[in-house]
Amino acid sequence: MPRKAQWTVLNYIAAHNNLDQFGKRSRDEIVGVGSTEAVVQGVLLDSHAGSARYVAGEPGRVRDQHLLGKSFDSGDPEELIRTARWLYEQYPAERYGLVLWSHGTGWEPAEIEAIAQEARPGATSDTSESQERAAGPGSRCLFRSTLRALLTPEQRSERAILFDDGTGHSLDTLELARVTTAIASAVGQPLELLGMDACLMANLEVASELRNSVRSLVASPELVPGHSWPYPQIYSALRAQPQVDGSALATLVVEQYLGYYRSQPPRAGDVTKVALDLGRIDPLLAAAGGLADALIAHMNAAGDALWSAQRVTQARETRNGVRQPSKFDFDLWDLGSVANELAGTADLPAPVRVAARGVADALRPGQGCVLAEGHEGAWFDGSSGTSVFLMPPGKQRVAPDYAQLAFARTTRWDRMLEAYHSHFA
């Protein structure tokens, strides 16, 4: 039996969208670094030209290649599971890494219409809905199965509610948890690292759902530049230090990402990254649950202050409302920023202020599950790098699917949201 590598990493690039050329560049960068006996780099690229699986060899060369044609569906979670098994079974390792490179809601209108017909056979196509969703910039849906679930309700008004209040995010999080659990089961251990080269995935809902199948998570709470991760720098460092564990590699990703974009600022200005040790997330979840309980118990006194904290956070992180798009289009809010605002509000009941301070403390890098956090730009001052679903008052309802998430069950965050919205009803 061949000796195990230290790392086998699957880079799953779902670029059959308007980021096609960026996806090809990321593939070329990864192959350019190449594999060694200690670190094996595998790539799946789905693009307009077709799809293929690769195993990198010497720098700039491909050791193994399988053409998959134009029918391959990188938005099918089962294909992700099959691709991971294909690579990991061929190249067993001490540690397994998975990097998901995705544009999220970059579905073309024709794709959305086709999926809508599957979900609602015989229903009249709604072109405006397809155009609206295809134009979305953020990572709401990693998988077509999630989009299909969103489009299943018969009434467009109901679908709009479901889409706007974060159900897409919730459903996708559940699907992602199923995928990583299946992969972890196949290799007999948790994934050492899950990297999200996709927008808006650094939130507690995702982290909570993955905690049993992933050891370290590295992601962005904001949008990700089209150029993606600086793969040459990250994987060259891993090649030089193959013995590092997932926590060290996640920290390295944050450092290299921030360093790269500080020297080459992206046009949109979004530079955020956080590394989380999911094995140490319990204190943060307990703190979030304590804040939820305190807010529920004192909502009459705290509801207005919570809304004020959200407005202050949004004003700062959108450059006074000018910066668009942002995570606020998707109802995700920086948890540390909101918690700090609440902790500093003198006229709030003491239990709320104490609980909010507990959340802020739990989000400090090096104090618990936050291994490293970095951001660039004054509009991210005070950011913790970890977001949470905090739908503002005035929306119609909190999606029932949200209550299925491990985060909601653990922290009672869904009940807090219900009390919050009832306060303004």
Largest Cα span, the chain: 67
- Give the side-chain half-sphere CA count within 13 A for 245: 8
- Residue 378: CB partners within 8 Å, gap ≥ 6? none
pTM, rounded to two decimals = 0.92
Q: Within 13 Å and on the Cβ side, how many CA atoms surround 185?
A: 8
| Domains of the chain, residue spans | 5-105+170-280, 282-368+378-423
The alpha-carbon radius of gyration of the chain (Å, integer) is 21
* pLDDT of the residue at 320: 66
Distance (Å) of CA 108 to CA 47, 49, 135, 254, 282 = 13, 15, 8, 31, 39
Which DSSP helix (H) or strand (E) runs through 167?
helix 167-187
Say which amino acid occupies 47. S
Alpha helices in 350-395 (DSSP H): 350-362
> CB under 8 Å to 340, separation ≥6 — which residues?
356, 360, 382
φ and ψ of 96, to 5 deg:
-120, 135
CA atoms of 394 and 392, how far apart (whole Å): 6
Query: What pLDDT is recorded for position 286?
Result: 98
Q: From the CB of residue 400, how many other CB atoms can be counted at a distance below 10 Å?
A: 11
322-324-330 Cα angle (round to 5): 125
Q: Which of 205, 212, 251 is nearest to 366 (CA)?
A: 251
Instruction: Per-residue pLDDT tens, the chain, 425 aa: give them.
Output: 568 999 999 999 988 777 788 889 999 999 999 999 999 999 999 988 889 999 999 999 999 999 998 888 888 899 999 999 999 999 999 999 999 998 654 556 666 677 777 767 766 656 655 655 555 544 567 887 887 777 777 666 666 666 655 667 777 889 999 999 999 999 999 999 999 998 889 999 999 999 999 999 999 998 888 888 999 999 999 999 999 999 999 999 999 999 999 999 887 778 999 999 999 999 999 999 999 999 999 999 999 999 999 999 988 888 766 766 667 766 889 999 999 999 999 999 999 999 999 999 999 998 899 999 999 988 888 899 999 999 888 766 777 788 999 999 999 999 999 999 999 98
The structure tokens listed for 157 are 């008004």
| 5-105+170-280: CATH topology | Rossmann fold (3.40.50)
Contact between 181 and 213 under an 8 Å Cβ cutoff? The reply is yes
Amino acid at 360: A
d(CA 269, CA 252): 21
237 vs 104: CA distance, rounded Å: 28
Contact 333, 388 (CB under 8 A): yes
